[in-house]
Structure 1
Amino acid sequence: MIEGFKKWKHQQDFNPGLFGLFINPFFIARSGLWKNINVLSSMLSGDLLDVGCGRKPYKALFAVNKYIGLDIDNPGHSHAGEEVDVYYDGKTFPFDTNSFDSALCNQVLEHVFNPDEFLSEIHRVLKPGGKLLLTVPFAWDEHEQPYDYARYSSFGLRHLMEKNGFVIEKSIKSVNDSRAIAQLWNTFIYKKTVTKSGIFNIFITAILMAPVTLLSSITWPLFGKSRDFYLDNIILAVKK
């Protein structure tokens, strides 16, 4: 029963349903990511490397032959409860050149101090024509401090990708409307009120944040979409 609850809670963390609106303070951002990753997931095939995999929250979306989770061996970061298959030293991936058909890198690049070397390693282990699905925040608070190093605009990200041997096939600005403001507000309130009590945190989310999420979800069409303000960049790129 406990394991079943943990599995359900994990689903609500990354693919929140209606009930997730009341228990997930990041409902708006996570819903946007899941929706867009789901749309692009069919573009990845073969052997897939999940770079910075953590708990592999999006694994179920990918119909691939092999799914390998890679994460950094860092004593300052606990990997308890995660599903890491292979660790690396933060510099060189322990795989041969041209090993993978696809790669996923979800909300990791902002934590990388050496983005050129990092993307170069992804490029190296991908086969020619291999595809990379990458997501990275644009408007978001500092998190996992002190390992939060950067925010990327769509233009900066395009430059970085092309410089390291990738051609962008698809670029999406996730949650590019007034819901982004609501999500940033909810994140601010969450960090001001979060405690070690999971029950209390759920109560605060339901009372203070769910109404903001619900209101913004209803009213955002009144204000339309924005070309400049959004939560996350989602990129589908191919190795040249």
Structure 2
Amino acid sequence: MSVAMSEQKFMIRFCKAGIISITACYQKTMALLCGKHPNLYPWHFQWTAIRDLNRDLADVLPTLEGRVLDAGCGLQPYRFLLPSVTDYVGMDVVPGPFVDYLVKTGERFPFLDESLDAVLCTQVLEHVEDEVFFLDEIARVLKPGGRLVISIPFIYQVHGAPHDYRRLSEFGLRRLLPGYTVERVNHQGGIGTSLATLSLGWLHTQLDATTPTSLVKMLITPLLLPLQAVVNLLGVLLDCCDSTRAFYGNLLAVAVKNSDGSK
């Protein structure tokens, strides 16, 4: 009995190791075929989710100068868009190779008052437990006249669970920025791309739910990629018919800290 159990445990470990290896190989292959964030190809299932965000960041970020903080930097995917900054620092609650300052949730930022020229915060605010404290810290470290570039989803699936706390409309985001003059708020996407993002996100979440369905997903990838390209294209075309400004998937705001401290 003990020999049989040992053989069974060995087979289980062997199968798990095989699945892990297959998954890693699949992910590397998909990165080659579909691109890596933020440079995704139109047949990637997340392409519609970041297409307009990438466009707007490419317009805004090159205008930033001086000392810039990337709050929630991750892998610093947008650093290449800031050629004029003198000092670019990354901060996050999760350690990583591009994290210059590691902080705990709810901890004060490790910067002096009014010491930064700009703060970049992309797709982070929805994961912050206390958004008021977080934004107060940004206001504290920004110089008067300093710029905040911030983005957050409005229509998007649950992600980063259990640390996914909110979605914001333009009106909700503006209410969180007292003490700033909001220069611009860009609505990103419309009904078409929102539907494309949600439907393809649902499909991948469903397929990734179990090991057997994940293996099925790998097998049907040659069918998935053209399907995703068609869904994404239809989403973009449908956006052209959407004049409601009510079904955007994401928001990007650029705000300037008031010099007189007024709210």
- 1:198 Cα shift? 9.0
Question: What amino acid maps onto 1:41 in structure 2?
Answer: L
- 1:38 Cα shift? 0.9
Matched residue, 2:66: 46
Alpha-carbon spacing, 1:33–1:186, altered in 2? closer, same or farther (3 Å): same
Q: Distance in 2 between matches of 1:9 and 1:46?
A: 37
Q: Deviations over 1:157-202 (max 9, x none)?
A: 101111xx22211111111342221221111111112337995585
Q: Deviations over 1:109-128 (max 9, x none)?
A: 00111111000101111111
Q: Distance in 1 between matches of 2:166 and 2:108?
A: 21
Secondary structure in 2 matching 1:65: strand
Alpha-carbon spacing, 1:9–1:144, altered in 2? closer, same or farther (3 Å): farther
Q: Distance in 1 between matches of 2:220 and 2:162?
A: 24
For 1:57-68, list aligned pairs within 5 A: 57-63=77-83, 64-68=85-89
Q: Distance in 2 between matches of 1:94 and 1:9?
A: 40
- Are positions 1:216 and 2:235 aligned together? yes
Deviates more, 1:52-61 or 1:183-192: 183-192
Matched residue, 1:21: 42
Q: Give the TM-score of the pair, scaled to structure 1.
A: 0.84
Q: Distance in 1 between matches of 2:218 and 2:88?
A: 34
Matched residue, 2:154: 138
Q: Distance in 2 between matches of 1:193 and 1:11?
A: 20
Does structure 2 retain, via aligned residues, the 8 Å contact 1:177–1:225? Answer: no
Point out where structure 2 has 5 or more consecutive residues left out of the alignment.
1-24, 209-213, 259-263
- 1:98 Cα shift? 1.4
1:72 to 93, 102, 107: 93
- 1:43 Cα shift? 3.2
Does structure 2 retain, via aligned residues, the 8 Å contact 1:174–1:231? Answer: yes
- 1:71 Cα shift? 0.2
Does structure 2 retain, via aligned residues, the 8 Å contact 1:109–1:136? Answer: yes
% identical aligned pairs = 32
Q: Distance in 1 between matches of 2:118 and 2:71?
A: 11
Point out where structure 1 has 5 or more consecutive residues left out of the alignment.
74-78
Question: What amino acid maps onto 2:143 in structure 1?
Answer: K
- Are positions 1:107 and 2:123 aligned together? yes
Q: Deviations over 1:126-170 (max 9, x none)?
A: 1111001000000011111000011111111101111xx222111
Does structure 1 retain, via aligned residues, the 8 Å contact 2:153–2:167? Answer: yes
Question: What amino acid maps onto 1:209 in structure 2?
Answer: Q
Q: Deviations over 1:78-118 (max 9, x none)?
A: x45x5111111222111111121011000000011111100
Structure of greater Rg: 2
